[in-house]
Chains A and B, each alone.
Chain A
């Protein structure tokens, strides 16, 4: 049929099928800002304005829009002049991955058109249908209020940090280089609707004086994202591109006896059908990790056995997605159904079905008992310590399975280039690992594969995996054509990766004065059908569980167990959130049993500057050969974090009966809780980042990094580090990340490593370039040496006050004399993994009649060393806390007794939306970490650690009831209250 739409003021006629959603037609016609998030429209990423009203283009047929005007954000900017809403999103740091940004901006436009004076509540409601997994909605809400103010003619708010005084030390009192905190601009802009933009900020006395680092620079990629420019994997057009579709297993455990693909193959428009009977059997492990990947290699592209509902069976490539979907329905598979097991403890028992009974997987600890790995580590003598302790306490906790839910699902497109090399454009956090790992599966040498990571719509660990790159590769090899595979939302839930469920038991010996004597930690981790990240996630659980508190005797005992659930993998926090829910809940229970104040008890025992981390060398991620010495804590702002957090949440209220019980609403109880958090910064001795910098004719620089910005802001942070070193503004650094043909190697975006590891590589490369610039400058100045020459404000300055611009230096070097490309490459690997610290606080309201827990406020005070960019750093904390809130409060993958996920869509599986967000407060407590670039440590993962235990603590404070398994759903809390 033919339809006519007026899109951004231009009337166009299209041919489409009745079954085409408006989203499909708009994307096909090049309006790439309208995004796919799910087929049922629940992400809201496909929002457009229809007749000025925000509607969902995925939930309506193109035919329904026939004859009506449509707006997308492609129509908003006038050339380079951004619309005030776009400008506000850029300035307030409201954009992280940018995938849902177009929908948010349209929601803002519709709101402000209707109501020029929106309140924060109005803004939250306007965004309520657009799910965002990165920001926690705080900055987008601020952006809307800011935009409305500017559109009313008020002046823009100046964005700067909100400096507050420390509570536990005097500024500059430790003899280091003292820095006067800058004046904080009043910033309220005169309207009641605008809120503070940036977090509270406590300066580190030793932080270096910098001009670019430490400043709230706007993101280097924000313009393209705010305009909806085609930046993501799917925002390209290929002539002759085929669409792939997966056939996945309906059974939790079965052998594939026979596949009859003849009917599918014979369909018009079908070009290839691949499965275990026509794809070579090459063993691998899909976790995106350094060489050599941890064993066992228990996967193949297509196996003759399926091990969970959602496991791969076959894939089709066809002319259209519609044909591919139909072809999948016509593949006939004969299964021999096997008994399945879903519970990790049941899977270890004799007689349980053996999930990996194949004879070609090496390195399984005990295949007969479904144990992929056994991990053991001990410091001192735990049994002796427990025997000698005044008291011993034991508690068991359970943590459940959740999914990362990037709003952009996994997507990859592959094609043969002119040199007959296979190019894979993919949404990955690990482009270099993906290339190395996919090569043997495809039977191609690494040199014939190029992996390009364009803009990514969120990852959070789920894309630290070589997940679908082999499928598009196989299909391009089979057909010679470009092939695109995008997981739909249900497939993203069940056929990608998730967080490991665990059962954790802590047995702790403590003396009557509260001093810890022994900590015994036992964990059973459920790694689902494949081991992928099973060893390393569970290792990190042990490391995190036994790092925060000092004890002379510690032991970690862990079994990683195969079951028939969808596969857990990497998820931001990587074993840490599991450990810290159990650890922090347990420590609070111990304090309570001893009659001690929880904070005093924790402060008595937690680790401080100068303390050794004895367990760390025994619980490494494959780097044991490299790192054998016991690391020492070089920086910790934890005392200040605790003090700031207590102040911000008004901690003392928790002891007031009159506050906890509301006389006006007697069924409501209030409570405040807290948790201590400690994480790592990169994998020591293993994570490596590379960077190249070269000068251009105008004195700007290309920065090429293998580091993978998945929305975190790492491109910006790395540009700031280069700009600081080279004496230029951030805008003079053109960042390209990452492409295995173009950029140096990087292990990828995981383990909180990018700022620390890749940042140091950038700093080193920039220092090399700086030396070359100084040499060239000394020649122009007619000086014999570079001594005293420095770079500032795009100039090189001589000791006697002369200057020459970097542009002149570049032209001189590239064109005029003794020509030379000023460029350098550097890489970095660290033997240290300096922990960031944090104190997490939560305030809740519990409805004792319904069991509903309403989270009123979260406060997180974080020591991440010197913060390179407070705006992106606070965005990381807000977004991380919001994901952690979902983990503790409402998200849960639920199955029937056949292992079929019952809530593989974003309705029944609940992630937080804008309208229900609690107040979030971020406090950046700076310390100076001597091993980090400009004193930085990591920030990405630590906000995932403390929310669940802080909620447990707050619920206990409110009701006196302790819930030892998450999430705290109404029904669970109600039953706990009434049992």
Chain B
């Protein structure tokens, strides 16, 4: 199966990629390509030019220094294996290790993943829960977008035309407890439901909970009702159940359904996986 005809250009720097994007309105960036190339074969998208940024080494670094910075072209395999990520925010390393299979993780990138904004993908859920910032660069300079504002809709982000994701910044989460719990699609391992919990605890009491759901809705979304339920509470079974009910109510008619998991089932699973994520975070 062949994609529609296109031109290919390998960019050697972010500046060059940004310039080419500005000059070619019908261009797309190619990182790993594991979402883009199948879509092009199916003619779901037909860019006239692909700008391959996959060899820009400066976008591949992962470093921890006050905050954790992950270059947009870090592969899922590197994110999963990175000692810094594991130390800083283990839920992200865990989520990255659950993406697809080895072949996908070795070539697919975190930047490509979030720019594609597949609702069933794991990183958006985890990054919003962490309060991460997405750094992008366009013709008019750089800007920083809160992860929570970055994912706008199904396959839609806050990126402006011509902007390139350069890195993802995760704040210092020391002292927080976090976990990602996911019901995987049995074959693709995409999330049917994925919930990430980041908790600030004072003894048994929850000072603050950041709870995010992905997979079940059009884009990863904070479960603010459930967060409110847990704030200042002891996280016992009754509190978790109340949070689950609040999450189910919030998801409501927004729950997506497909042949693997119809909406009513998926909505019910949001409650289950919310509880599992919190239990897992509490250890």
Chain A positions within 8 Å of B, measured between CB atoms, are 1, 18-19, 21, 39-42, 44, 47, 50, 53-56, 59-61, 63-64, 66, 107, 110, 125-126, 128-129, 321-322, 325, 488, 849-852, 890, 894, 902-903, 906-911, 913, 915-916, 969-971, 974-975
A-B contact pairs, 17 of them (CB 8 A): A18-B5, A19-B2, A21-B37, A39-B1, A54-B102, A55-B103, A64-B30, A129-B101, A906-B187, A907-B187, A910-B185, A915-B101, A916-B186, A971-B260, A971-B261, A971-B265, A974-B265
CA distance in complex: A124, B240 (Å): 35
A906 neighbours in B (Cβ, 8 Å) = 187
> Once bound together, how far apart are the Cα atoms of A969 and B183, in whole Å?
13
* Alpha-carbon distance A627/B52, docked complex (angstroms): 68
Contact partner, B103, options A47, A66, A850, A903, Cβ 8 Å: A47
Check A63/B260 contact, CB under 8 A, given A18-B8, A53-B106, A322-B2.
Answer: no
CB-based contact B186/A60 at 8 Å: no
CA gap between A906 and B185 in the complex, in Å? 12
> Hey, what's the 0/1 contact readout for B259-283 against A, CB within 8 Å counting as 1?
1111001001100100000000000
Asked if A1 and B265 make an inter-chain contact with CB atoms under 8 angstroms apart, the answer reads: no
Judged by a CB distance under 8 angstroms, whether B140 is at the interface is no
- Are B272 and A61 in contact, CB atoms less than 8 angstroms apart? no
Which residues of B sit under 8 angstroms from A321, Cβ to Cβ?
2
The residue in chain B whose Cβ has the minimal distance to the Cβ of A914 is B101
Candidates B41, B52, B103, B269; contact of A64 at CB < 8 Å: B52
Contact B259 A902 (CB under 8 A): yes
Q: Is the CB of A40 within 8 A of B38?
A: yes
> Residue-by-residue, is B101-136 near A (CB-CB < 8 Å gives 1, otherwise 0)?
111101100000000000000000000000000000
Q: How far is the CB of B3 from chain A (nearest CB, A)?
A: 5
**Complex Cα–Cα for A39 and B1 (A):** 6
B37 touches A61 (CB 8 A): yes
The smallest C-beta distance from B260 to any residue of chain A, in angstroms, reads: 7
A68: nearest residue on chain B (CB-CB)? B55
User: Which B residues touch A915, using CB under 8 A?
Assistant: 101
CB distance from B109 to the nearest CB of A (A): 12
Interface membership of chain B positions 6-23, coded 1 if the CB is closer than 8 angstroms to chain A and 0 otherwise? 111010000000000000
Cβ of B100 within 8 Å of any chain A Cβ, yes or no, is yes
What is the bound-complex CA distance between A488 and B265, given in angstroms? 33
Contacts of A325 in B (CB 8 A): 1-2
Residues from chain A with Cβ under 8 Å of B258 in the complex: 908
Set of chain A residues within 8 Å of B260, measured between Cβ atoms:
908, 969, 971
Q: Are the C-beta atoms of A890 and B1 separated by less than 8 Å? A: no
Q: Which of A59, A66, A322, A850 contacts B107 (CB 8 A)?
A: A59
| Complex contact A63–B38 (CB within 8 A) | no
B157 to chain A, nearest CB (A): 22
Residues of chain A within 8 A (CB-CB) of B100 are 129
Measured in the bound complex, the distance between the Cα atoms of B259 and A283 in whole Å is: 37
Contact A971 B262, CB 8 Å, known A54-B102, A59-B107, A64-B52: yes
What's the least CB distance linking B170 to chain A, in Å? 25
Distance of A188 Cα from B101 Cα, bound (Å): 30
Interface residues in B134-191 (C-beta closer than 8 Å to A): 183, 185-188, 190
Least CB distance from A831 to B in Å reads: 45
CB-defined contacts of A913 to chain B, threshold 8 Å: 101, 187
A125, B38: Cα distance in complex, Å: 24
Known: A321-B2, A322-B2. A128 touches B8 (CB 8 A): no
Q: When the two chains form their complex, are residues A850 and B104 in contact, meaning their CB atoms are under 8 A apart?
A: no
The answer on a CB contact under 8 Å between B102 and A129 is: yes
Task: List the B side residues contacting A125 at CB < 8 Å.
Answer: 102
- Given the contacts A59-B107, A902-B259, A910-B186, A488 and B8 also touching, CB distance less than 8 Å: no
> Closest CB of chain A to B78's CB: distance in Å?
10
Given A39-B38, A56-B107, A910-B186: A61 and B102 interface contact (C-beta under 8 Å)? no
**CB-defined contacts of B107 to chain A, threshold 8 Å:** 50, 53, 55-56, 59-60
Indicate if the CB atoms of A128 and B1 lie closer than 8 Å: no
Q: Which residues of B contact A63 (CB under 8 A)?
A: 8, 10, 52
Contact residues in A for B34 (Cβ distance below 8 Å):
41, 56, 59
Chain B residues in 8 Å Cβ range of A849: 272
- Indicate if the CB atoms of A126 and B102 lie closer than 8 Å: yes
Of the candidates A61, A64, A908, A916, which one forms a contact with B259 in the assembled complex, judged by CB atoms under 8 Å apart? Answer: A908
CB-based contact B101/A44 at 8 Å: yes
Extra contacts besides A907-B190, A913-B187 (18): CB < 8 Å:
A18-B5, A19-B5, A39-B41, A40-B38, A41-B34, A42-B187, A53-B106, A54-B102, A61-B30, A63-B10, A126-B102, A129-B103, A907-B188, A908-B260, A915-B101, A969-B260, A970-B261, A974-B268
Determine if A894 and B1 form an interchain contact, defined as CB atoms under 8 angstroms apart: no
- Nearest residue (CB) in B for A895 is B259
Which residue of chain B has its CB nearest to the CB of A889? Answer: B186
B104 adjacent to A19 (CB under 8 Å): no
Cβ of B28 to closest chain A Cβ, rounded Å:
12
Q: How many angstroms from the CA of A890 to the CA of B272 in the assembled complex?
A: 21
With a 10 A CB-CB cut-off, give which of A1, A325, A970, A971 has the most chain B CB atoms.
A971
Given that A59-B107, A911-B187 are known contacts, is A488 also in contact with B1, CB under 8 Å in the complex?
yes
Residue from B3, B260, B268 whose CB has the most chain A CB atoms within 10 Å: B260
Closest Cβ–Cβ distance, residue A398 to chain B (whole Å):
17
By the criterion CB–CB under 8 Å, are B103 and A41 in contact? Answer: yes
Question: What 7 A-B pairs are tightest by C-beta distance, nearest first?
Answer: A129-B101, A910-B187, A18-B8, A907-B188, A39-B1, A129-B103, A322-B2
B41: A residues at CB distance < 8 A: 39-40
Choose from A54, A60, A851, A852 the contact partner of B37 (Cβ within 8 Å). Answer: A60
- Contact across chains for B104 and A129 when beta carbons are under 8 A apart: yes
Question: Contacts A19-B5, A60-B107, A488-B1 given: A894-B187 contact, CB under 8 Å?
Answer: no
Neighbouring B residues of A909 by C-beta, 8 Å: 187
B54 touches A128 (CB 8 A): no
Assess the A1–B8 pair: CB atoms within 8 A.
yes
Contact A44 B103 (CB under 8 A): yes
Q: B232 near A: Cβ within 8 Å?
A: no
Residues on A with C-beta less than 8 A from B262 are 971
B104 near A56 with CB under 8 A, answer yes
Choice from B50, B186, B272 contacting A18 with Cβ under 8 Å: B50
- Cβ of A35 to closest chain B Cβ, rounded Å: 13
Pick from A110, A902, A908: contact of B188, CB under 8 Å: A908
Decide if B33 is an interface residue (CB 8 Å cutoff): yes
Contacts of B8 in A (CB 8 A): 1, 18, 61, 63
Query: In the complex, which residue of chain A has the Cβ closest to the Cβ of B104?
Result: A129
Task: Considering the complex, give the chain A residue whose CB is closest to the CB of B2.
Answer: A322
A59-B52 in contact (CB<8A): no
Instruction: Give Cα A969 to B185, complex, Å.
Output: 11
For residue A62, give the distance in angstroms from its CB to the closest CB of chain B: 10
Residue of A nearest to B183 (CB): A850
Report A324 CB to chain B, min CB distance, Å: 10
Beta-carbon contact of B259 and A59 below 8 Å: no
- CB neighbours (8 Å) of A850 from chain B are 183, 269, 272
CA distance A801 to B101 in the complex (A): 62
**Are B187 and A64 touching (Cβ within 8 A)?**
no
A1 to B32: give the CA distance in the assembly, Å.
20
Report A456 CB to chain B, min CB distance, Å.
23
B269:A59 contact, CB within 8 angstroms: no
How close is A501's CB to chain B, nearest CB, in angstroms? 16
Among B1, B32, B100, B101, find the residue whose CB has the most chain A CB atoms closer than 10 A: B101
Residue in A1, A59, A128 whose beta carbon sits within 8 Å of that of B38 in the complex: A59
CA distance A890 to B2 in the complex (A): 30
User: Known contacts being A18-B8, A908-B259, is A59 close to B2, with CB within 8 Å?
Assistant: no
A890 to B258, CA, bound (A): 15
